[in-house]
Copies of this chain bind each other. A is one copy, B any other.
Amino acid sequence: MNLVLLLPEDLQAPDRARLTGRRLAHVREVHRAKVGDDLAVGLLGGAMGRGRVLRLDDEALELALTLDQPPPPKLPLTLVIALPRPKVLNRVVAAATSLGAARLVLLNAWKVEKAYWASPRMQPDSLRAQMLLGLEQARDTALPDLRLARLFRPFVEDELPALLAGGTGLMAHPGTGEPAPRTLAAPVTLAIGPEGGWVEAEVQSLLRAGLRPLDLGPRILRTETALAALVGRLF
């Protein structure tokens, strides 16, 4: 937790916050803060700055806030990721958020098992909790725009072309021999397939929608590793 992320309901006044629960425990046990210390804080959806510890005990953390800085800019990036299995989902959502993607679309694909969509980790509160962890990690306050696209074709045929307008669309796909471009027009849309890859009909749909294939080389990376490598490469 590199940033104490404040929710609107934590505010007792515009310059005063009171926290309990997980964040209180973390500040006590991991940060080992004391009264008078300054912590890096940010208000969800708002500004960042510092919070001076006024009170810290079993019951609550109280902070005097100075929120005078904007959050870091988002990357002009839409990630379109085939829904990973639940075990991987949390890491992918948190990593995409910490890397600064402006928008995250979780998309169905042939090799996405139906059960993944029914996982408790797909509940809005669970997804939001992972995004908050990503913001706390990266020191950011702005949630990415999260979209669940449970139907491949309507999303790819009707919505994806509009997302691509004026920018660059890329699809990670092994074996095409196309290296990742090193410079590109923003905004960027980057599609990452499921374990086992897109099936051929999906590849053809994504190409028709305007994505260019991009070959990451002979190594097959885990989704969150590939994601970070691509963002590092492109931005």
User: Is A213 part of the binding interface, using a Cβ–Cβ cutoff of 8 Å?
Assistant: no
**A234–chain B nearest beta-carbon distance, Å:** 8
Please give me the residue from chain B that is nearest to A183 by CB atom: B182
Q: Which 5 A-B pairs have the closest CB atoms?
A: A229-B232, A232-B232, A228-B228, A232-B233, A72-B218
Alpha-carbon distance between A230 and B221 when the two chains are bound, in angstroms = 15
Copies of this chain held together in the complex: 2
Q: A182-B182, A217-B72 are in contact. Are A98 and B222 (CB under 8 A)?
A: yes
Alpha-carbon distance between A232 and B140 when the two chains are bound, in angstroms = 22
Q: A232-B232, A233-B233 are in contact. Are A219 and B182 (CB under 8 A)?
A: no
Contact of A221 among B98, B180, B218, B222 (CB under 8 A): B98
Contact: A137 with B231, CB < 8 Å? Answer: no
Alpha-carbon distance between A2 and B221 when the two chains are bound, in angstroms = 10
Alpha-carbon distance between A222 and B217 when the two chains are bound, in angstroms = 24
Contact: B2 with A220, CB < 8 Å? Answer: yes
